[in-house]
A = this chain, B = another copy of it.
């Protein structure tokens, strides 16, 4: 298992963290492909492996090819797709790491394919331990599912068998839980800037808000004027936001959603 030779296609956030974690856990990264020479070179230097910026130079003797590229390359007009059409990789295990892409995109190019989707927000500049990251795996055969499971378990305690259908919806849920919440941190910062207050003041609150739902279901952790339907405070807040019609609109919209959700769930419980 540890002698598995792997080619990584991609040099973005997921490719970087995943290839480093594989390397650290005894897997051999044979080659890094990236369209951008500088990115390929940076990552290949760290992993002491080959690099290429051309798909034509992809080594053919690896066991597994992990595609960790932006979702658009899996569309039929893309360079990668054209390459795979030209040079099928029958017998090789082709794996992608994308939330929103079906398992069967590789079915025309190999008889072995799967998904290895780590559910986390990665930044190149921020080190992160893989230990606890949920990895959603899927494969077209039981044998390859077992290979991905063993590989996953070397990296994390949190390997999950997830279908393409489930994974796609998990990806949408992750947009709400990560991308949208981060945007609300950004909007909060915009509000503070109005009165020259530093974002630092919100950091402990943000951390505790995330901490609370580590053990509680989020609907039980809901606090604030909207869930209490405190019209008086809501009105005050909307007045305070009169400097921005966008923020006012967002405040009303989300407050209404909170109120509707909890009213409905109260009635049905």
Residue ranges of A at the interface with B (Cβ–Cβ < 8 Å): 13, 71-72, 75, 100, 119-121, 123, 126, 128, 132-134, 136, 158, 160, 162, 165-166, 168-189, 191-192, 194-197, 199-214, 216-219, 221-227, 230, 232-233, 236-237, 240-241, 246, 250-251, 253-254, 257-258, 260-261
- A221 near B123 with CB under 8 A, answer yes
Residue of B nearest to A132 (CB): B204
Within the assembled complex, what's the spacing in Å between the Cα atoms of A71 and B260?
22
Closest chain-B Cβ to A89's Cβ sits at a distance in Å of: 25
- B182 near A213 with CB under 8 A, answer yes
- B210 near A192 with CB under 8 A, answer no
Closest chain-B Cβ to A65's Cβ sits at a distance in Å of: 23
- A206 near B201 with CB under 8 A, answer no
Pairs across A and B, CB under 8 Å, 30 listed: A121-B221, A121-B223, A123-B221, A126-B212, A158-B204, A162-B197, A169-B192, A169-B195, A169-B240, A170-B192, A170-B197, A170-B201, A172-B251, A173-B189, A173-B191, A173-B192, A175-B237, A177-B188, A178-B223, A179-B227, A180-B258, A181-B209, A181-B210, A182-B209, A182-B212, A183-B226, A185-B221, A186-B222, A207-B210, A210-B210
- B185 near A181 with CB under 8 A, answer yes
Shortest 10 CB-CB contacts between residues of A and residues of B: A179-B224, A210-B210, A185-B218, A177-B188, A181-B181, A176-B188, A173-B188, A173-B191, A186-B218, A166-B195
Contacts A121-B208, A178-B209, A182-B222 supplied; 17 other A-B pairs, CB < 8 Å: A119-B202, A120-B205, A121-B209, A121-B221, A123-B212, A165-B195, A169-B240, A170-B201, A171-B237, A173-B188, A182-B221, A186-B218, A189-B218, A203-B213, A209-B210, A246-B260, A253-B253
Residues of B within 8 A of A169 (CB): 191-192, 194-195, 197, 240
- A182 near B237 with CB under 8 A, answer no
Q: How many chain copies does the complex carry?
A: 2
